[in-house]
């Protein structure tokens, strides 16, 4: 399978596999690690435009681009003027691409008529596209879902509008807003969007194995793919999918000693980004996911292993003890693998 390079305005991505923005998860340490392991693009967690303009500390942490050479920022909101302003602020702070969130299903976002709610207000979506496009010189992209519900596959109309307004790429999560995260993403439904526009279309939803990479592209006809939950605890995963698309044979996951080193380096990253107290807490879910990924070779013993180490590690507050525990958990797995 040979995949043409993805061109977004003046920007060409090294490969078409993108780490999805996930609020509270794909923070700067994770994004840096994903890029280092070969992701073609990483996007900041969603930033509420108003909060970004107010200089809210959480938004500044989310926008953190240090260590990522090409830094993309996702903005959310429903006021075209404020979103244009927020895009300008992000560009001035070094963003090389602005992504607009029109897919978030969360009630607190959609009741404010932002995120996926914009699928029900195309005139407002157009005003946002025009304002943001006019505010910055870097490429502007949009991430959305198939539609609000099954009866309204609005993604096609939204993508056509995005193209007409000069946006450079559209990403489609193959679910409707009303599905939230239930059921399976419908990869083939993304094809209607691909057929309707000539800007790059990115397919997203439920890519969790290397084989899913070529499969989502074949089913959707998309130009690239985006990976979210499949990369939780596995920041190397998008890069490995990119390798598969380039025709190379790779293992699903790196060796355990490398997985351990990656987790320990991420841990240092969280401590330095958030400070010790918050960093220790922020790291906990990632440690759980990483241990789960590391224990894939354990068959029936996997769940018990993960549970035991989660219980041991996720109650600790002292970083030195957490790091020693991580090392011991991976030592145990390597010892078992060698036995
Ligand atoms: C915890 C969580 C946070 C998310 N945050 C964002 C976000 O900030 N912006 C966004 O566009 N999508 C967000 N998403 C949606 C993902 O980017 C992605 O579209 C979705 O998870 C489907 O892809 P996946 O099956 O590969 O995870 C989030 C998803 C999850 C599970």
Q: What is the pLDDT of residue 61?
A: 82
Q: Which of 18, 23, 47 to mutate to test the pocket of ligand 1 (most atoms within 8 A of CB)?
A: 23
Atom number, ligand 1, closest to the C-alpha of residue 76 = 9
Residues 130-151 as b/e (b if ≥16 CB within 10 A, e otherwise) read: bbbbebbebbbbbbbbbbbeee
CATH classification at residue 221: 3.20.20.70
Q: Say how many Å lie between the CA of residue 173 and the centre of ligand 1.
A: 9
What does residue 101 show for φ and ψ, rounded to 5 degrees? Answer: -85, 115
Q: Is the pLDDT of residue 2 over 70?
A: no
Domain end marker among 218, 245, 272 = 245
Domain co-membership, 171 together with 66 = yes
Cβ neighbors of 329 (< 8 A, separation 6 or more) are 291, 294, 309, 313
- Return d(Cα 329, Cα 260) in angstroms, integer: 9
In Å, how far from its chain's centre is CA 172? 13
Last residue of a domain, one of 203, 222, 245: 245
Ligand 1, CB cutoff 6 Å, lining residues = 20-25, 45-46, 74, 101, 103-104, 143, 173, 204-207, 227-230
Determine the Cα–Cα distance for residues 16 and 39; give it in Å rounded to an integer: 8
Q: Of 217, 245, 273, which marks where a domain is finished? A: 245
**Which residue, 117, 46, 104, is CA-closest to 75?**
46
* Residues 6 or more apart whose Cβ sits within 8 Å of residue 198: 163
Q: Are 288 and 306 in contact (CB under 8 A)?
A: yes
Q: Ligand 1 centre from 181 Cα, in Å? A: 9
Q: Do residues 96 and 12 touch, judged by C-beta distance below 8 A? A: no
Ligand 1 centroid to Cα of residue 105, in Å, is 10
Pocket test for ligand 1, best of 228, 230, 234, 238 (most atoms within 8 A of CB): 228
Residue pair 61/30 in contact (Cβ under 8 Å)? The answer is no
Q: Do 76 and 25 sit in the same domain of this protein?
A: yes
The model's pTM: 0.97
Q: Are residues 220 and 307 in the same domain?
A: no
Task: Say how many CA atoms lie within 13 Å of 55 toward its Cβ.
Answer: 0
Q: How many domains does the chain have?
A: 2
- Strand residue runs (E) in 94-187: 97-102, 140-145, 169-173
Residue of 139, 19, 119, 130 lying closest to 68 (CA atoms): 19
Report yes or no on 251 lying in a domain.
Answer: no
Locate all alpha helices (DSSP H) within 176-235, ordered by sequence. Answer: 191-196, 212-220
Domain, as residue range, for 42: 6-245
Would you give the DSSP letter of residue 20? P
Structure token digits, residue 100 = 């607009």
Distance 321 CA to ligand 1 centre (A): 32
Helix (H) or strand (E) holding 180: none
Question: Mutate which of 17, 18, 20, 47 to test ligand 1's pocket (most atoms within 8 Å of Cβ)?
Answer: 20
Same domain as 186, residue 58:
yes
Tell me, in angstroms, the distance from the centre of ligand 1 to residue 34's CA: 16
The answer to whether residues 20 and 167 belong to one domain is yes
- Asked, for residue 250, whether it belongs to a domain, the answer is no
160 and 105 in a common domain: yes
> Which of the four pLDDT bands, split at 50, 70 and 90, describes residue 297?
confident
Summary mean pLDDT of the chain: 95
Question: Residues with catalytic annotation?
Answer: 104
User: pLDDT tens digits, residue range 309-330?
Assistant: 999 999 999 999 999 999 999 9
**pLDDT digits 0-9 by tens, 285-295:** 999 999 999 99
Name the percent of the chain lying above pLDDT 90.
Answer: 86
Kindly state whether residues 240 and 168 are assigned to the same domain. yes
């Amino acid at each position: 399978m040979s995949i043409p390079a993805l061109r977004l305005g003046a920007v060409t991505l090294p490969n078409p596999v993108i780490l999805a923005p996930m609020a509270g998860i794909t923070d700067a340490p994770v994004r840096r690690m994903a890029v280092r392991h070969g992701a073609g693009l990483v996007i900041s967690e969603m930033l509420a435009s108003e909060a970004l303009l107010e200089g809210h500390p959480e938004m500044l942490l989310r926008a953190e681009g240090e260590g990522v050479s090409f830094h993309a920022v996702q903005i959310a909101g429903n006021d075209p003027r404020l979103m244009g302003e927020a895009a300008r602020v992000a560009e001035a702070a070094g963003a090389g691409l602005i992504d607009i969130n029109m897919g978030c299903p969360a009630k607190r976002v959609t009741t404010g008529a932002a995120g996926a709610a914009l699928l029900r207000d195309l005139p407002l979506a157009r005003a946002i596209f025009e304002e943001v496009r006019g505010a910055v010189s870097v490429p502007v992209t949009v991430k959305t879902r198939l539609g609000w519900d099954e009866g309204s596959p609005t993604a096609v109309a939204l993508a056509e509008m995005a193209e007409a307004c000069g946006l450079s790429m559209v990403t489609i999560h193959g679910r409707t807003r009303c599905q939230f995260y239930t059921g399976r993403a419908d990869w083939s439904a993304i094809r209607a969007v691909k057929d309707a526009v000539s800007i790059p279309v990115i397919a997203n939803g439920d890519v969790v194995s290397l084989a899913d990479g070529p499969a989502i592209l074949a089913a959707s006809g998309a130009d690239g793919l985006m990976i979210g939950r499949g990369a939780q605890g596995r920041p190397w995963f998008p890069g490995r999918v990119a390798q598969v698309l380039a025709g190379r044979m790779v293992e699903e996951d790196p060796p355990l000693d490398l997985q351990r080193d990656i987790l320990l380096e991420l841990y240092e990253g969280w401590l330095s980004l958030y400070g010790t107290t918050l960093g220790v807490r922020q790291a906990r879910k990632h440690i759980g996911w990483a241990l789960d990924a590391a224990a894939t070779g354990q068959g029936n013993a996997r769940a018990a292993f993960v549970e035991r180490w989660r219980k041991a590690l996720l109650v600790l507050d002292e970083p030195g003890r957490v790091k020693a525990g991580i090392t011991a958990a991976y030592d145990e797995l390597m010892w078992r693998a060698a036995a």
